[in-house]
């Protein structure tokens, strides 16, 4: 069975600072994908970053990067130079066998 | 990226009636679509996986006779909430999966807010 755990219900960060959101997962799949999604107040799901489990190199996307520790089943998201527009819910997700399971989410507040 | 639309974006219906939500992939063919339900301040819960031309696969605890899913074409899946009750009020999100060349991506619709009075 797949599970995704986000242990930080809420976090806040000062504008321009760096913040790390945690995520751990459990899976029985050998091939899988990991994602971070952003959900702003509009509730539209926006892909932030993806990681293929077979790739050892951590994914980066501009100000967003991940720390993927496959053996530890950990997949944290680092947001650098935080901006006010980064305020949103962030969901960690695992896709294996074409089934996606989401974590409970972390609400991030970026303060001016 | 690919676009997924949902219609309607919000709907209010009376208890006991049925309501249909459409999910369309606008610029790609989606052999697999997914339906999620999201309560306020909670995560997305997968309800069912919809495959074109075949019956949907429902997650444990989801009533297949209450939440009817039809995936009649490669660009359209529908979710019908039958005999709706106030507890069915929620935000429903569909998504379409696309895979190939070692990568997988899921495109999400904007969601449908259902209120049952």
pLDDT tens column, A31-63: 899 999 999 999 999 999 999 999 989 999 999
Give the nearest partner residue to A104 out of B43, B91, B97, using CB atoms.
Answer: B43
| B98: closest chain A residue by CA | A98
Q: Confirm or reject contact between B100 and chain A (CB < 8 A).
A: no
Question: What is the per-residue pLDDT for B100?
Answer: 73
Query: pLDDT tens-digit profile of B28-78?
Result: 888 789 999 999 889 999 999 988 888 899 999 999 999 999 988 889 999
Q: What is the pLDDT of residue B73?
A: 87
Question: Is A15:A84 a contact under the CB 8 Å cutoff?
Answer: yes
Q: Across the interface, which of B42, B97, B102 has its CB nearest the CB of A98?
A: B97
Residue from A100, A103, A106 to probe the interface with B (highest B Cβ count within 10 Å): A100
Query: How many angstroms separate the CA atoms of B91 and B111, rounded?
Result: 6
pLDDT digits (tens, 9 = 90+) for B77-116: 999 999 999 999 999 999 998 777 767 788 999 999 999 9
CB contact under 8 A, B49 and A42: no
How close, in Å, is residue A32 to chain B by CA atoms?
Answer: 9
Contact criterion met (CB below 8 Å) for B8 and B20: no
Task: Output the DSSP codes for B2-35.
Answer: --EEEE-SEEEE-TT--EEEEEEESSS--SEEEE
Whether the CB-CB separation of B80 and B52 falls below 8 Å is answered with no
Chain B residues touching residue A34 (CB < 8 angstroms):
none
Contact B66, B47 (CB under 8 A): no
């Amino acid at each position: 069975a797949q599970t995704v755990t986000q242990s930080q219900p809420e976090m806040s960060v000062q504008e321009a600072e760096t913040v790390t959101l945690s995520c751990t997962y459990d899976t029985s799949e050998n091939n899988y994908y990991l994602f971070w999604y952003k959900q702003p107040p509009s509730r539209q799901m926006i892909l932030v970053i993806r990681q293929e489990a077979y790739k050892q190199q951590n994914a980066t996307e501009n100000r967003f990067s991940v720390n993927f520790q496959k053996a530890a089943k950990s997949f944290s998201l680092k947001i650098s130079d935080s901006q006010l527009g980064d305020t949103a819910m962030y969901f960690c997700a695992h896709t294996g066998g074409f089934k996606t399971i989401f974590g409970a989410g972390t609400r991030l507040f970026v303060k001016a | 990226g690919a676009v997924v639309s949902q219609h309607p974006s919000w709907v209010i219906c009376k208890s006991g009636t049925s309501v249909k939500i459409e999910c369309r992939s606008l610029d790609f063919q989606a052999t697999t679509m997914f339906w999620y339900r999201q309560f306020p301040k909670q995560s997305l819960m997968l309800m069912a996986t919809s495959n074109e031309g075949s019956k949907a696969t429902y997650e444990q605890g989801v009533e297949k006779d209450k939440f009817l899913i039809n995936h009649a074409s490669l660009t359209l899946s529908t979710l019908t909430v039958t005999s709706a009750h106030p507890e069915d009020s929620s935000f429903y999100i569909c998504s379409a999966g696309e895979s190939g060349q070692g990568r997988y991506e899921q495109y999400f619709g904007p969601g449908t807010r259902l209120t049952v009075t």
